[in-house]
Amino acid sequence: IQPGEVQKILTDVQTKSETLGKALTEEKFTAIGTGISWGGGLTAEVSKAVGQVMTDQNKNLTVIQNHIGAGMNGVSNATIAYNNGQYDMATTFQTEMTKAAESGDFQYFVDHGYQG
Binned average pLDDT, 10 residues per bin, the chain of 116 residues: 90 90 78 70 76 81 91 94 94 96 95 85
CB-based contacts of 81: which residues, under 8 Å, 6+ apart? 87, 89, 90, 92, 93, 114
The whole-number pLDDT of residue 100 equals 96
Number of domains in the chain: 1
- Residues of the domain holding 30: 3-112
Q: Which helix (H) or strand (E) is 105 found in, with range?
A: none
pLDDT given at position 73: 94
| pTM of full prediction above 0.95 | no
**CA contacts within 13 A on the Cβ side of 49:** 4
Cβ atoms of 83 and 1 closer than 8 Å? yes
